[in-house]
Amino acid sequence: MAVETSPQRDTATSGSDLLELRGIRRTFGSTVALNDVSLVVRAGTIHTVLGENGSGKSTLVKILSGVLEPNSGTVAVAGKMLTRGTPRKARTLGIATVFQEVLVAPNRSVVENVMLGQDSWHSWRVRGQARDDLAISALTELSSHRFDPRAEVGDLTLVQQHQVTIARALVLKPDVLVLDESTAALDIEERDRLFVAVRRRVEEGMAVVFISHRMDEVLSLSDDVTVLRSGSRIETLRKDELSERRLLSLLNSEVVA
Ligand SMILES: Nc1ncnc2c1ncn2[C@@H]1O[C@H](COP(=O)(O)OP(=O)(O)O)[C@@H](O)[C@H]1O
Ligand SMILES: [Mg+2]
């Protein structure tokens, strides 16, 4: 039997192509949510996907997380294809996602919720105190709140629940971390903590797909920015090409560049 849940994966060289989406199309009835979208995310970089509401960002996130299937097109990590994707397969390829909606099990504890994404490999090996420590140390990176490992997540604030979902992705030690509007609910201090936690891992080679509406953080954080409009990729800019003016014109201009 293949050891599909081993967290040991080949570490990609920083800057090399890691996540590749090719020709992704996805429709919902007559709505074309994504139309022939291709993009490449390099190891050790933060790739922002920027677009108005309804431009297809969350659909893209769900496809590369194995939650939704594309009608056509491919997703690959380090050359390995996510075919007939499931969330479990996406995790096996090294993708961890923090979805826009806060997904927690309200009646279960903080630690159980942080460890929810773990496949059996970890549940077997990381037990008891070590399990608590792993979960709480991820949360401590994200928040000054002292989380009680046994507290029921339903009793936490919405922001704290959100941090539980971010911690859940971090403890997976992903090669590709996907953050869909994860800063929207956070205040400045918590957001900065998240950025420190993310940057630390990016320096170690992790790639990030970052979805945000906030121009300031997009400009300060991104290595690459792909602009989506009505499900189509309009342009991908590198860091040295980024400016607020340029991004706004790509987001809003009537003429497709
Ligand atoms: N499950 C769904 N059923 C029907 N339409 C959907 C579904 N998910 C997304 N859409 C539609 O697809 C388009 C893109 O949505 P979405 O990916 O959520 O955009 P964004 O995250 O950029 O706001 C929108 O028109 C949205 O209404
Ligand atoms: Mg969305």
Of 54-58, 154-158, 162-166, 183-187, least confident by mean pLDDT is 183-187
* Degrees, nearest 5: CA angle 254-38-71: 100
For 25-35, the pLDDT digits (tens) are: 999 999 999 99
> What does the DSSP 8-state code read for residue 70?
-
For 199-252, the pLDDT digits (tens) are: 999 999 999 999 998 899 999 999 999 999 999 999 999 999 999 999 999 998
Beta carbons within 8 Å of 83's beta carbon, 6+ residues apart: 74
Q: CA torsion sign, 89 to 90 to 95 to 98?
A: negative
Atom of ligand 1 nearest to the CA of 68: 1
Over residues 65-79, the mean pLDDT reads 97
Ordered by start, the domain boundaries in the chain are 16-93+205-257, 95-173
In whole angstroms, how far apart are CA 188 and each of 120, 160, 192? 36, 14, 6
Contact 56, 33 (CB under 8 A): yes
Question: What is 16-93+205-257's CATH superfamily?
Answer: P-loop containing nucleotide triphosphate hydrolases (3.40.50.300)
d(CA 3, CA 1): 6
Neighbour count for residue 117 (Cβ, 10 Å) = 21
Is the pLDDT at 118 greater than 80? The verdict is no
Cβ < 5 A residues, ion ligand 2: 57-58, 100
Predicted pLDDT of residue 9: 53
- Name the 3-class secondary structure at 190: helix
pTM listed for this prediction: 0.92
Is the pLDDT at 80 greater than 80? The verdict is yes
Residue 252 CA to chain centroid, in angstroms? Answer: 25
Residue nearest to ligand 1 atom 12, measured at CA: 33
Residue nearest to ligand 1 atom 27, measured at CA: 54
For 237-248, the pLDDT digits (tens) are: 999 999 999 999
Describe the crossing of helices 128-142 and 188-203 by its angle, rounded to 10 degrees: 120
DSSP 1-26: ---TT----PPPPTTSEEEEEEEEEE
Beta carbons within 8 Å of 51's beta carbon, 6+ residues apart: 57, 227, 228, 229, 251
Burial class of residue 230, CB neighbours in 10 A (0-12, 13-18, 19+): middle
Is the pLDDT at 117 greater than 90? The verdict is no
- Name the 3-class secondary structure at 113: helix
Atom of ligand 1 nearest to the CA of 62: 17
Atom of ligand 1 nearest to the CA of 180: 21
Strand order of the β-sheet with 207-211 is 95-98, 176-180, 207-211, 46-50, 224-229, 232-238
Give me ligand 2 centre to Cα 104, in Å.
18
Q: CA torsion sign, 82 to 67 to 38 to 33?
A: positive
d(CA 7, CA 92): 8
Q: With left for phi above 0 and alpha for psi between -120 and 50, is residue 36 left, alpha or beta?
A: left
